[in-house]
């Protein structure tokens, strides 16, 4: 009998520090769901990362469970993907500490996300905020993945992770696999509706479409979306001069599968008054089955618990093999 080649491993996580939004879905999760047959996928709720900023405990628990329900509703089948909660797999924290000791102070102080977050949280610049990339490297390396799907904003962290791999392997031999950043071509880069020059973000809720949002609220945000001062109100793809309209066209293309040229033709002479509600309606219909399925799943807490328990068991099994190897290499006595 022919031996099957093992699938390449892919891993990613999103912090449950707020509700998932259209940018998370179109830019990441939608693509994750399509990879289950090609890769051995691990996806987690990065709850340990959220506490670099103070969280309301009950809200964090609620959002973690809601995020799991939304992952499944977006098409991440728990039978085909390993879905787990980061804090349920103790190896993340353990390897995170080890990697702290193999990461240089200068490397961490050059991280642009640390500088940005420190500027925004000047009253709480804690050690976790500074060493966050070491925990992120541990998240990745425990599963020896081939690819890590990341947005441009996380590319620097993956580069640091690769530096850590190089340093550790040069001392102890071939311990970690070198992960490659996987920047999907198809993932739409979704910008904010109120500030189209910035990525859609839960920190600017008026320009952000949340997956669980009511249809009427989604439509209201699209009707108020920033377009441009062009008196012709012409629907044309021009990211430099018409960033708002171009963003709406990208969103419409991502949810309908239509090309930008076809969209220009569809709304020729129609103006923004027709175009913006049409984009809103297309998004509402795309998100409706996700919202309804997530709401249904949240009524079945026992099922969600069974998913995250079995996910943590499988993740722990894989992670423990890596951690044991690391502990042996650095000289810790076996347990």
Question: For position 1, what pLDDT does the model report?
Answer: 47
pTM given for the model: 0.88
Question: For position 40, what pLDDT does the model report?
Answer: 94
**Starting from the edge strand earliest in sequence, which strands make up the sheet with 39-45, in order?**
81-85, 39-45, 8-14, 147-149, 180-182
Q: Assess whether pLDDT exceeds 50 at residue 35.
A: yes
Type and span of the H or E element at 8: strand 8-14
What is residue 135's three-state secondary structure? helix
Digit-coded pLDDT (tens) for 51-94: 988 899 999 999 999 999 999 999 999 999 999 999 999 999 99
Q: Which domains are delineated in the chain?
A: 8-188+301-330 (3.40.50.620), 205-295 (1.10.240.10)
Catalytically active residues, by annotation: 117, 199, 202
Question: For position 299, what pLDDT does the model report?
Answer: 97
| Percent of all residues in the chain with a pLDDT value above 70, rounded to a whole number | 95
β-bridge pairing 39-45 and 8-14: parallel
| Percent of all residues in the chain with a pLDDT value above 90, rounded to a whole number | 68
Q: Assess whether pLDDT exceeds 80 at residue 19.
A: yes
Q: What is the mean pLDDT of residues 33-38?
A: 86
Q: At what angle do helices 301-330 and 91-100 cross, to 10 degrees?
A: 40
Question: For position 66, what pLDDT does the model report?
Answer: 95
Mean pLDDT of the chain: 91
Digit-coded pLDDT (tens) for 262-305: 999 999 988 899 999 999 999 999 999 999 999 999 999 999 99
What is residue 42's three-state secondary structure? strand
Please provide the distance, in angstroms rounded to a whole number, between the alpha carbons at the two ends of the chain: 39
Question: For position 280, what pLDDT does the model report?
Answer: 96
Question: For position 151, what pLDDT does the model report?
Answer: 67
For the ranges 13-22, 156-165, 325-334, the maximum mean pLDDT occurs at: 325-334
For residues 85, 89, 92, 98, the Cα torsion angle rounded to the nearest 10 degrees is 170
Type and span of the H or E element at 81: strand 81-85
Question: For position 185, what pLDDT does the model report?
Answer: 58
Digit-coded pLDDT (tens) for 163-219: 999 999 999 999 999 998 876 655 568 999 999 999 898 889 999 999 999 999 999
Question: For position 187, what pLDDT does the model report?
Answer: 54
Contacts of 48 by beta carbon, 8 Å cutoff, 6+ apart: 86, 87, 92, 93, 135
Lowest mean pLDDT among 23-32, 108-117, 208-217: 108-117
């Amino acid at each position: 009998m022919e031996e099957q080649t093992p699938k390449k491993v892919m891993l990613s996580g999103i912090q449950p520090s707020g509700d998932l939004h259209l940018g998370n879905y179109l830019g990441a999760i939608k693509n994750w769901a399509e990879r289950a047959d090609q890769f051995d996928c691990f996806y987690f709720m990065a709850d340990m990362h959220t506490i670099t900023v103070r969280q309301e405990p009950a809200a964090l628990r609620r959002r973690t469970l809601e995020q799991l329900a939304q992952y499944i509703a977006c098409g991440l089948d728990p039978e085909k993907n390993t879905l787990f909660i980061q804090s349920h797999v103790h190896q993340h924290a353990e390897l995170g500490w080890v990697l702290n000791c193999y990461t240089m102070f200068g490397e961490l102080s050059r991280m642009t996300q640390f500088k940005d977050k420190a500027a925004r949280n000047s009253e709480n610049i804690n050690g976790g905020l500074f060493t966050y990339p070491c925990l992120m490297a541990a998240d990745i390396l425990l599963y020896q993945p081939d690819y890590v799907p990341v947005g441009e904003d996380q590319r620097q962290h993956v580069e640091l992770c690769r530096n850590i791999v190089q340093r550790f392997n040069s001392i102890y031999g071939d311990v970690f696999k070198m992960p490659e950043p996987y920047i999907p071509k198809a993932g739409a880069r979704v910008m904010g509706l109120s500030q189209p020059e910035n990525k859609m973000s839960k920190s600017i809720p008026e320009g952000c479409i949340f997956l669980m949002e009511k249809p009427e609220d989604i439509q209201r945000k699209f009707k108020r979306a920033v377009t441009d001062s062009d008196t012709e109100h012409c629907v044309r793809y021009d990211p430099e001069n018409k960033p708002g309209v171009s963003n709406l066209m990208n969103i419409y293309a991502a949810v309908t599968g239509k090309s930008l040229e076809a969209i220009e033709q569809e709304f020729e002479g129609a103006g923004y008054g027709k175009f913006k509600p049409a984009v809103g309606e297309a998004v509402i219909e795309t998100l409706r089955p996700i919202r309804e399925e997530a709401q249904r799943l949240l009524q079945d807490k026992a099922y969600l618990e069974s998913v995250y328990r079995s996910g943590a068991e499988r993740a722990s099994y894989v992670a423990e093999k890596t951690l044991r190897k690391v502990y042996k290499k650095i000289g810790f006595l076996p347990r």
